Amino acid sequence: MKNPQHLFAFGSRQLDLSEPHVMGILNLTPDSFSDGGELFAGGKPDLARVLRRAEAMVQAGAAFLDVGGESTRPGATPISSQEEMDRVLPVLEALQQFPVILSVDTSNPELMRESIKVGAGLINDVRALERPGALLAVAAGTLPVCLMHMQGQPLTMQERPAYEDVTEDVMTYLRGRIEACERAGISRTRLLVDPGFGFGKNLQHNLHLLKYLDELQSLELPILVGLSRKRMLGAVTGKAEKERVVAGVAAAVIAVMKGTSIVRTHDVDATMDAIKVCRAMNAPERFQ
């Protein structure tokens, strides 16, 4: 029997976050840093391609599918609210056929409200509900939200990132956003946190943050991380984006060993194998 304190509600679904889970990335953009355009054709997401990718991720064991219609890679420029909704909402509706939690990667309050209506289970916001109206949009519903740390904005965030102590600075920011959520009527029971690897952080910042990631457990909220194929892994290995699978899996295992509940990745199959080993180590009695 699961310990109730570890059950987290994602819309109509519950998930035991006492063990780690994998979130598969579905980028509905022409310009995301690693896979931009792969699910895009004729100026819009290619639904058939999206569904094939989603099915493969679900079969590999993903507990979440994270759908994003606006690139947040370094140097990315914003798109209109309507364009983002036109990319995401039809896909979100089509993904209802899969028995997983659907996460919407957005900072757009209008899309947040519409996503709730069409079956989203999580709002995943790289701007931690800082856009005008975002707090109200989430407070008006019941869905959980993941608050991510980002220094600056995607267009300029990698120009000159600077911190006194990156881990402490990230936690201070997240504490502030948690308090803002609570003031807006969003309970802590609906919150997750993400330290934001690669978002306004150089290689040294990212490596320091990974080394001391377990300190985020002091926030007493589930931790989500996205390290898949990121530049920090390329800097360490010297490999291009799609050749960083092994490095991404290694980083995911480190993150899980330091208390992460959800690992966001492009490479679900390989990451899931690693997560299974982590789960087995924590519960060897399953294999007697």
The residue type at 210: L
Per the domain annotation, does 1 fall within a domain? no
Across the range 229-236, mean pLDDT stands at 95
| Burial (Cβ within 10 Å: 0-12, 13-18, ≥19) of residue 1 | exposed
pLDDT value at residue 31: 65
Q: Which of 87, 201, 229, 230 is catalytic?
A: 230
Q: In which domain, by residue range, is 108 found?
A: 14-287
Encode pLDDT of 103-115 as tens digits. Answer: 999 999 999 999 9
pLDDT at residue 205 greater than cutoff 90: yes
Taking CA atoms, 156 is separated from 17, 87, 114, 200, 274, in Å, by 34, 24, 29, 8, 34
Whether residue 211 lies in the annotated active site: no
Tokens, residue 170: 């990230």
Its pTM stands at 0.92
Across the range 151-176, mean pLDDT stands at 83
Q: Name residue 179's beta-bridge partners.
A: none
| Torsion from C-alpha of 176, 127, 123, 91, nearest 10 degrees | 180
Per the domain annotation, does 132 fall within a domain? yes
Per the domain annotation, does 4 fall within a domain? no
Contacts with 143 (C-beta within 8 Å, 6 or more apart), sequence order: 10, 11, 116, 120, 121, 122, 123, 190
Encode pLDDT of 32-52 as tens digits. Answer: 556 556 787 777 888 999 999
Phi-psi region of 90 (alpha: psi -120 to 50; beta: other; left: phi over 0): alpha
User: What phi and psi values does residue 194 have, to the nearest 5 degrees?
Assistant: -135, 125
Per the domain annotation, does 5 fall within a domain? no
Whether residue 244 lies in the annotated active site: no
Encode pLDDT of 61-99 as tens digits. Answer: 999 999 998 877 666 667 899 999 999 999 999 999 999
Q: How many Cβ atoms sit within 10 Å of the Cβ of residue 116?
A: 19
Query: Which has the higher per-residue pLDDT, 234 or 77?
Result: 234
**CATH code for the domain of 221:** 3.20.20.20
Per the domain annotation, does 2 fall within a domain? no
Q: What is the 3-state secondary structure (H, E, C) of 267-288?
A: CHHHHHHHHHHHHHHHCHHHHC
The mean predicted confidence, pLDDT, of the chain is: 91
Per the domain annotation, does 9 fall within a domain? no
Per the domain annotation, does 3 fall within a domain? no
Q: Which of 177, 190, 229, 264 is catalytic?
A: 264
| CA nearest to 112, candidates 9, 94, 104 | 104
Beta strands in 130-256 (DSSP E): 145-148, 191-194, 224-226
Across the range 139-154, mean pLDDT stands at 90
Per the domain annotation, does 8 fall within a domain? no
* Number of domains the chain contains: 1
